Amino acid sequence: MTRATKLLTALPPPQRQRLMTLAREVSFPEDTRIFEAGGTADRFWVLRSGAVSLDQQVTSVQRVTVASLGAGDLLGWSWLFPPYRWDFGAEAFSPVRAYEFEARAVLKLCEEDPALGLSLVRIVAEILAHRLETTRGRLMEQYGMNRRRII
């Protein structure tokens, strides 16, 4: 399995510095819903500390955690792709400190600096590929465990 890519450390220093001019420090208390699946994806975060769980609503009362994020991780990628709606929900599992970025400002910066835009898209793609690989592994483990019980 590949290692998790961290957005800010993967960007070359000059590009990271340009992106960080748009950062705003925010915090979320434990158990705060940060966003809901289907909501407007108009920002993203890079976690500085704490933990966030990504979840999917499976019934009207049940959510299933699909991933856990920690320091250095990117929270939110739906801002980059139409229709700009969150695919998952997110909740602070512990007190969280993060850098928040408004999508509109970041996209404008990417238009002004195409090299930064290309780097950002490639890094987000690496992050998504890693998360997909991790999720696939978990599903394979779950399927294998269930299959052993059936046999």
State how far the Cα of 150 lies from the Cα of 118, in Å rounded to an integer.
47
Here the tokens at position 46 are 């890079």
**Eight-class DSSP state of 80:** G
| pLDDT digits 0-9 by tens, 107-129 | 999 999 999 999 999 999 999 88
Report the pLDDT value the prediction gives residue 69, as an integer from 0 to 100: 94
Mean model confidence pLDDT for the chain: 89
| pLDDT digits 0-9 by tens, 38-96 | 999 999 999 999 999 998 887 778 888 888 999 999 999 999 999 999 999 999 999 99
Phi-psi region of 38 (alpha: psi -120 to 50; beta: other; left: phi over 0): left
Q: Residue type for 95, please?
A: P
To the nearest 10°, report the CA torsion of 118, 128, 95, 50: -90
Give the pLDDT band of residue 1 (cuts 50, 70, 90): very low
Model pTM above 0.75? yes
| pLDDT digits 0-9 by tens, 6-36 | 999 999 999 999 999 999 999 999 999 999 9
State how far the Cα of 56 lies from the Cα of 67, in Å rounded to an integer.
10
Query: 151 pLDDT exceeds 80?
Result: no
State how far the Cα of 110 lies from the Cα of 104, in Å rounded to an integer.
10
State how far the Cα of 59 lies from the Cα of 76, in Å rounded to an integer.
23
What are the distances in angstroms from CA 29 to CA 25, 39, 92, 141?
14, 20, 7, 33
Report the pLDDT value the prediction gives residue 134, as an integer from 0 to 100: 79
Report the pLDDT value the prediction gives residue 144, as an integer from 0 to 100: 66
